[in-house]
Amino acid sequence: MRVIDLTHTIHTGMPVYPGTEPPAFERANTFERDGFRETKIIMYSHTGTHMDAPAHMLSSGPYLDNLDVEHFIGNAAILDFSNVRKGLIDADSLKPHEEMIKNAEFIIIKTGWSKYWGDKKYFEDFPSLSKEAAQRLTGFNLKGVGIDAISIDPMNSATFDVHKILMAGNILIIENLTNLDAVSGRSFILCVMPMKNKDADGSPVRAIAIENI
């Protein structure tokens, strides 16, 4: 078995979605004063490598804590669009991958954009799904769709149509994945466990790929 970490490290200077405050870490207890260490962490629920619940953008959508834990693990496949030069991944672009999608519970859209993490280009011109492609994906038995970019929607979207289409099908969205090049095969087990807090509209996750070798 081989385990690959697909998660960005959370820290104070990390990239965050424009308009969001970066996480803050306060040393609440120290060895010198208290004999132990404990840290107070303040951050948004969609910080770093994270998962969106349908409740994030749908008024009647379920929160993450409404879902069974099995919803956060399953067979996954990477769809490689890292050489795509057009901005939108359309429904026709999915057709060559449909057999893989049929056999997967999670698909990950590989754009190659994680290499720009920490650079302003990370927020610009990354490939994202079209509304028609998102609608096509709702026809499969998917638990989630992930991407190695800041959003599954185009950065200039004001309506977040792709989010809402996927969420209406109770498909989770995982954003800011990384290290996809380290996954040797195109099919593996994906584990994306969120925190179990009440009314979770989203949560940072520790995303890992598990390969049988």
**How far is Cα 44 from Cα 53, in angstroms, rounded to an integer?**
14
pTM value > 0.85? yes
SS3 (DSSP) at 100: helix
The dihedrals phi and psi of 59, each to the nearest 5 degrees, come to -65, -30
With 0-12 / 13-18 / 19 or more C-beta atoms within 10 angstroms meaning exposed / middle / buried, residue 95 is exposed
- Looking at domain 2-7+45-211, its CATH architecture is 3-Layer(bba) Sandwich (3.50)
CB atoms closer than 10 angstroms to residue 77: 20
pLDDT in tens, 34-53: 999 999 999 999 999 999 99
| Under 8 Å between Cβ of 129 and 135 | no
**How far is Cα 165 from Cα 57, in angstroms, rounded to an integer?**
10
pLDDT in tens, 93-106: 999 999 999 999 99
SS3 (DSSP) at 135: helix
Residue type, 168: A
Domain ranges for the chain: 2-7+45-211
SS3 (DSSP) at 156: coil
pLDDT in tens, 59-76: 999 999 999 999 999 999
Residue 213 pLDDT greater than 70, yes or no: no
Give the tokens for residue 11.
């820290």
DSSP 89: E
Q: Is the dihedral of CA 140, 104, 122, 25 positive or negative?
A: positive
Q: What is the pLDDT of residue 83?
A: 86
Q: Measure Cα distances from 8 to 65, 76, 86, 172 in Å.
A: 23, 19, 26, 19
Residue type, 138: T
